[in-house]
Structure 1
Amino acid sequence: MDAVSLIRAGQETDTPWRFRLDELGWRDMVAALEKDTLPFVGLWCDGTDVHALFMLSPAQPLAATLALEDGRYPALSSVRPVSSLYERRAYDLYGAEGMWAVDVRPLVDHDVWSATAPLAATPGPAGGHKGQISFQPSDALLAAGGVNAGAGPATGGMETPLHVAMAVAGETITQAETVSGYAHRGLAARWRNSRLEDACRLSGRVAAGCSVAHQAAFCQAVEAACGSAVGPETSLIRVVLLELERILLHLHTLAGLARGAGALVVASRCAWFREQLLAESAPVIGSRLLMDHCVPGGTSLREATGLGDLCISLAKLGEEIYPGLATLWRTYPALSVRLSGVGKVDATLLDRVGLDGPVARASGKDCDGRRTQRVYQTLWRLTAGRHGGTAEDRALVLLDEIGESLRMLGEAGPRLGLTAGGRVDLTLEDGEGLGMTEGPWGNVLYWVRLHAGRVAQVFVHDPAPAALMVFEETLAGQDVADLALVRQSLGVNAAALDG
């Protein structure tokens, strides 16, 4: 039997796409996944059960649930490598041990918390390490000569909270791996039994620059759990917010890449264009950070009735500025040369870890979640990508997507009337729901369980875990000076990873 059949052979639950397996059925599923191409989304624990989520298609989820036996379960990381990061987090938070896991090192708990397995029914004693976070190098890193270089929060720069431990020969990285957990904010604990508005607000702070993507997916999940759906205009308003967020984050990323490549004129032009868009949109939307504008059942904007005119205005601003920026990027001396050989990512690696989004589209993958969403059907039409898989290819994909998103804003504007989308009253009955959006760096997915009028639990799929694995593998053979360019071009987000 294939993995799908094995999962569906399990016991049905109240959620039609989630099935409960016994340990033998779970082990059979793991064995089948070794040859099965069923896309893996994520794994999480709730203290009693462990859940694995897959996607049969962009709109058809399938989940397997297994009761923990003495706090253990058969791991998936041997057949789905990115599951390793989820398994390590489940152990740190709940003490749930993945048997035969490929990596059992801590992910977010570095022995400095007030309790081990803090979300377990019976948390363990406090960690005994009160000094600097210790690092446990893998066998592969030790075999490469051990750690003799590093970059991260303790090295004095302005890097993101992610330490990179490296084995270096001369100026070339031979092996690298990361130490995360610096940005851990206890999101899983704060979501448990939270009020709906608090949970939604928290979702907007998972990943900086991706607030709309996370809150829109969270809202969709809540609405699905309630058996409700927002109207077409509300959906279109969310699309406008998503595309504006994509433009702003892509411009921020391009500015950073250009600055790191020494093209300061290009970097300043990207930052200036971004500032013009923010100055135009903030008075209508209500904030520069685009946080808290997607709410369960609708949207919340300062001047919602002016959103249509804003879209048209932003599109016109794009017509004035974007072509010149695109030409400047493509013709600026040495920018292409500086990025062209950096961070080449092979499509087979992307398949192995399940990374989508612009990183995959820059390596020849034809993947974009917007094509499967009904509200995008008359707006989205970009199919072109790149095939080189380098930092230059990823930058050019971001540049192209900015132009496409500006065009979509222009087309969406005349369709937005004066009703401001309206709101749907939600009845918070017990249930589970799933929501998905195409964020700036790829697919963002939320699973939400409601109970007794509150949010009982939340699971988040963000591109961050897969991007981290691609980042670690891509660094081998790169120059130490290129580390920041590789990280930025892959969209590695430490906060989204740490949770």
Structure 2
Amino acid sequence: MDAVAHIQAGQPTSTPWRYRLDEMAWRDLVEGLKHDSLPFVGLWCDGTDIHALFMPHDMQPLAATLALESGRYPALSPARPVSSFYERMIFDLYGAEAMWGTDVRPLVDHDVWQNSMPLAPVPGAAGDNKGMVAVQPSDAMQAASGTAMGSGPATGGYETPLHVAMVCEGETIRHAETVSGYAHRGMAQRWHKCRVDEANRLSGRYDAGCSAAHQAAFCQAVEHACGQQVGHEVSQLRLVVLELERVTQHLFTLATLARQAGARLVASRCMWLRESLLAKAAPVIGSRLMMDHSVPGGVNLRDTASMGTLCEQIADLAEEVYPPLVTLWQSYPGLSARLAGLAVVESTLLERVGLDGPVARAGGGECDYRRAMRAYEGLWHFNGGRHNGTLEDRAAILLDEVGESLRIIKALGPRLGLSAGGRIELTYEDGEGTGLAEGPWGAVLYWVRLKNGRVDQVFMRNPAYSALMAFEAVLPGQNVADIGLIRTSLGVSAAALDG
């Protein structure tokens, strides 16, 4: 019996795609997943049950639910390594213990909160450590020989607040692991019993640079839970914002990479194009920030009727500026040599950590969820062709995807402006739904449970945990001076990690 059949053999729930398993069936599922390629999305707790969400290749969600027994459940991490981060987060917030988990260190609770296990029915006592966060190394870190070093989070720079603990031999990293939690904002609690519009606003502030993707996925999840679907033009209006966000975020990342590599002229040209695009978009969309423009049931744009014209203006600017930018990036003295061969993310690592997005596409993966989204029919074409998984390949994929997104925006122009898009009035009945969007760094998925007209529970999956696992895996053998380049190229985000 494969994993899908195993889950579907469980007890049906009121949600058609979610099934309840008993403990022995859950254990059998974990064993089966060790030999099954069923794509894993995420693991979360609601205080009573543990839920594991999968996305079969037909893109229909499939979830397994297990009731906590004395605050414990069999761990999923022996079969899906990336789930160890979810298990650690669940324990920090709810005190639910993952039996046989591969990593039981704290993830976001470093003994400085007013209460431990704050979302448990009975929260724990306050932590004793009121000073600086203490690093709790793994057994592998303690066994490594060399000079202990650390990087972040309080270095005075603009890097994401994340501590990287290392054991080095000279300037070469021999072992590395990370400590997160500095950016924890308690999103699970803030979403709980929240108004739908306020929950949507919170989702847009989860991860800077990916706001449009988060809100589009959240809105889809709410609409799915309500049994409603927005019209085709609303979907395509959302696509314009999604693709514009992808362009501006990729250009920001490319500018950061170029600056860190010493190519300041290239960095300035990337930022000039980004700023020019935002200057054209802001009067029509409503702001320079790509947030609060997707709302449940529709869109919220300042001048919806001008979106088609905006697409044409963006296309005209792109035709003038983008080709010279590509030429500059490819021909700038020393830039290619600086990035070549750094931090290779191999296909076996991608498969192990479940990483998607441009990082995976730079390593030969074909994981772009836009191919499965109805709104992209006739617009999306696979943008790949890189297979070595180096930092240079990742930068090239980002540059290629800027061009692809600009092409999509140009194609959308003639389709828009025929109406104001419209908006459907949603009746917030009790129910569950999922929504998916392809963000700048990969798939963003939301599961939302509505109850009594409000948001009862939210689970959000983005590529952050997988990117962090890849980051830790590729650091050994790299030079300490390249940490910033590597972290930027993988899209490691502390906010998206910490929740």
TM-score tier (shorter)? over 0.9
Conserved 8 A contact 1:20-1:66 = yes
- Separation in structure 2 between the aligned mates of residue 427 and residue 340 of structure 1, nearest angstrom: 53
Deviation at 1:9? 1.0
Conserved 8 A contact 2:167-2:175 = yes
Deviation at 1:147? 6.6
Correspondence for 2:179: 179
For 2:328, what is the secondary structure of its paired residue?
Answer: helix
Deviation at 1:155? 3.3
| Segment drifting more, 385-394 vs 178-187 | 385-394
Correspondence for 2:207: 207
Correspondence for 1:443: 443
Deviation at 1:152? 0.9
Correspondence for 2:317: 317
- Separation in structure 2 between the aligned mates of residue 67 and residue 210 of structure 1, nearest angstrom: 33
Correspondence for 1:354: 354
Deviation at 1:365? 0.8
For 1:53, what is the secondary structure of its paired residue?
Answer: strand
Correspondence for 1:76: 76
The yes-or-no answer on 1:327 pairing with 2:310 is: no
Conserved 8 A contact 1:115-1:127 = yes
For 1:275, what is the secondary structure of its paired residue?
Answer: helix
- Separation in structure 2 between the aligned mates of residue 30 and residue 4 of structure 1, nearest angstrom: 12
Given residue 391 of structure 2, which amino acid in structure 1 is its aligned partner? A
Structure 2: runs of 5 or more not aligned: none
Conserved 8 A contact 1:141-1:147 = no
Deviation at 1:140? 1.0
The yes-or-no answer on 1:190 pairing with 2:168 is: no
The yes-or-no answer on 1:494 pairing with 2:494 is: yes
Deviation at 1:143? 1.4
Given residue 246 of structure 2, which amino acid in structure 1 is its aligned partner? R
- Separation in structure 1 between the aligned mates of residue 302 and residue 254 of structure 2, nearest angstrom: 29
Per-residue CA deviations over 1:79-100 (Å, capped at 9, x if unaligned) read 1000000000000000010000
Given residue 396 of structure 2, which amino acid in structure 1 is its aligned partner? L
Structure 1 runs (4+) greater than 6 angstroms displaced: none
- Separation in structure 1 between the aligned mates of residue 53 and residue 369 of structure 2, nearest angstrom: 17
- Separation in structure 1 between the aligned mates of residue 129 and residue 476 of structure 2, nearest angstrom: 31
Given residue 227 of structure 2, which amino acid in structure 1 is its aligned partner? G
Per-residue CA deviations over 1:427-461 (Å, capped at 9, x if unaligned) read 10000000001100001100000000000000001
Correspondence for 1:150: 150
- Separation in structure 2 between the aligned mates of residue 146 and residue 91 of structure 1, nearest angstrom: 32
Correspondence for 2:342: 342
Residues 437 and 147 of structure 1: CA distance in aligned 2, closer, same or farther (over 3 Å): farther
TM-score normalised by length of structure 1: 0.99
TM-score normalised by length of structure 2: 0.99
Conserved 8 A contact 1:164-1:176 = yes
Conserved 8 A contact 1:137-1:146 = no
- Separation in structure 2 between the aligned mates of residue 385 and residue 191 of structure 1, nearest angstrom: 40
Correspondence for 1:384: 384
Q: Summarize the alignment of residues 225-240 of structure 1 with structure 2, pairs less than 5 Å apart.
A: 225-240=225-240
- Separation in structure 2 between the aligned mates of residue 448 and residue 47 of structure 1, nearest angstrom: 15
Correspondence for 1:272: 272
For 1:155, what is the secondary structure of its paired residue?
Answer: coil
Per-residue CA deviations over 1:392-411 (Å, capped at 9, x if unaligned) read 10000000000111111111
Per-residue CA deviations over 1:317-343 (Å, capped at 9, x if unaligned) read 000000000000001010000001211
Deviation at 1:498? 0.3
Aligned residues: 499
Given residue 334 of structure 1, which amino acid in structure 2 is its aligned partner? G
Conserved 8 A contact 1:34-1:79 = yes
Structure 1: runs of 5 or more not aligned: none
Of all paired residues, the percent bearing the same amino acid is: 67
Given residue 440 of structure 1, which amino acid in structure 2 is its aligned partner? P
